[in-house]
Structure 1
């Protein structure tokens, strides 16, 4: 099985695709599922779902994401990306390979006590394929009552599993603020309304919100990642635009962040005589692990392999499933300093030792046994 999963991973790493446009990946996964005897159904344009029915039709779901990132790969490997500027830098090729391995394993079992649903999802990196699959009925169609997901993670050593009960990954949103000023000659700034200076005031003001208005033990982030403004070196800018990301683990904190950012915008308008328009785009809710499922996983994994992690401010659209049903998300360690597998997710040199694919397969098998889905 490890040899098969290794091939799946390398084949998929060779053809990274973005968002919902996963035609090659879709065709590859569909062909494999059909070869195992499944009749996969399509969701969210290029998502696939297969089911192995059990005596009890209420199902347990296992989900893998399939999309890649717009990153230029910097790895000297024989299965390097065929597409310049695209790369599986977030291990989704590994996630898909592990779930394909598990689907093949389950296909050979004669009888299940409970149905198992395999969910292969597009667009995790954006704009949120999980939400689209749910809206198209994937949970209702297959009576999915709980769900499990894995993520390869270089922040943990090989062989380790990172688990936590409750909040694990932050919810996220994006913000865009546009400043409208009044242009003048750079030698006569008093005749203009400086949009770049006002935008700078927004950036500084936003950076102070966390420290002054949020409980110090409540994790939250406001990061301005882009600022654009002006047309010439000697002209007071009449426009500027800033964009960024914000993270939190609960809605109350998010509401405070948004309120104070809008208050900051009003203050900047008064101080600099400009007009500021802002908007927020809510993306993913927090990943919040069900305590009962957490206990099942905790008791199933070898104690020496468990790492009780703290919450991280990454975001993951697995959270959309957890808004509807209990779910458990787990990190699989991939860090190996001796072999050079040290680069973080979303890095152009991210890679991992493919032997950890077996850790993922074993995780799925042991979870299923602990839930009583089948006996081996």
Structure 2
């Protein structure tokens, strides 16, 4: 169990209040106006230099170190999900149809708690510290727009850290690993165009349902026969529809799905095989198949040295070397530019009923974990000598 220092325990009341306030005002990506205003208010109250309206609603707090040879960023995502809350807590969402069901309220609270703590001991802060509040992680993605607005260059960020509350890891533990932690992800839409006809005269038509069914079956061989079994990859078609009525042969069928992989090479190979198979189906059935890809987030790929520093800082007994997860995170865009580490903050607590997964309308957690998140960040900074003992 990670020991929580007295000074961090002393900010518990404020950090919990911050979390509950943010939990009540969930907002979707690039519309986090109330959230942004609250963060700005807190940072200014702590005496942190504030930069507003980065990537629309993003906020950056900057604390100059006493030496300032290095700059470390701590990233928190700000947005919520479009879903109705069913937790029955007395600080539930006040925005109908919106909820912090992915724990971003926790992430913001932890970084604000860190900002408060460091602001109280500015004389001990050697490195420059950036408190980076990013919009739209759930979509369409706020990390890339912040990078395009040159947030890394403007603040001379050398390294970046991020975390995510995670109900698959036991409360009090940290889930992390070197290298790929989360998958590269993308979406695809497929439209199959056949020829309509009467169900009683199939010979005069070209059944898009039959064509799409064969296409779907062949696609399932990509993972099993074209990808090395030691590589992690997922190809899922989650939605399929088409046709007009029971006695009409369908002229058009649509399929929607997702691609995920830890390796960019594997991801590209999957896309290439999908196109090749679609072209083959077109020739086989004399039809037209349209495949549309939307590449989303790259893989979260942890810097090996930073992972070693984290293990050394908080102790290997407090870390679960977790298996790579097929979920995705746009924190990965920062890691493409600078060394970065992302870890899971365990919140699973069966005794207290904290068992619901992320993106569930009943998702909640023990607020003690907020202090654990702050403690991990502070201990890491001390270990790399960014903050004096």
Q: TM-score range by the shorter chain?
A: over 0.9
Name 2:7's counterpart in structure 1: none
Structure 2 Cα separation of the partners of residues 186 and 271 of structure 1: 21
Please say if 1:281 is aligned against 2:291.
no
What is the correspondence of 1:221-300 to structure 2 with a 5 Å cutoff? Answer: 221-300=234-313
Structure 2 Cα separation of the partners of residues 115 and 65 of structure 1: 20
1:103 corresponds to which of 115, 125, 129: 115
Name 1:193's counterpart in structure 2: 206
**Cα displacement (A) at 1:290:** 0.5
RMSD (CA atoms): 1.2
Please say if 1:51 is aligned against 2:62.
yes
Name 1:65's counterpart in structure 2: 77
Please say if 1:29 is aligned against 2:39.
yes
**Cα displacement (A) at 1:315:** 0.6
- TM-score, scaled relative to structure 2: 0.94
1:174 corresponds to which of 170, 187, 191: 187
Task: Count the aligned residue pairs.
Answer: 376
Name 1:89's counterpart in structure 2: 101
What is the DSSP-based 3-state SS (H/G/I as helix, E as strand, rest coil) of the residue aligned with 1:40? strand
**Cα displacement (A) at 1:110:** 2.8
**Cα displacement (A) at 1:267:** 2.4
Name 1:15's counterpart in structure 2: 25
**Cα displacement (A) at 1:7:** 0.8
What is the DSSP-based 3-state SS (H/G/I as helix, E as strand, rest coil) of the residue aligned with 2:350? coil
Structure 1 Cα separation of the partners of residues 255 and 97 of structure 2: 26
| Partners of 2:51 and 2:59 within 8 A in 1 | yes
Where structure 2 has 5 or more consecutive residues not aligned to the other structure, the ranges are 1-10
Structure 1 Cα separation of the partners of residues 108 and 47 of structure 2: 18
What is the DSSP-based 3-state SS (H/G/I as helix, E as strand, rest coil) of the residue aligned with 2:308? helix
1:146 corresponds to which of 159, 164, 171: 159
Where structure 1 has 5 or more consecutive residues not aligned to the other structure, the ranges are none
What is the DSSP-based 3-state SS (H/G/I as helix, E as strand, rest coil) of the residue aligned with 2:352? coil
**Cα displacement (A) at 1:230:** 1.7
| Partners of 1:153 and 1:332 within 8 A in 2 | yes
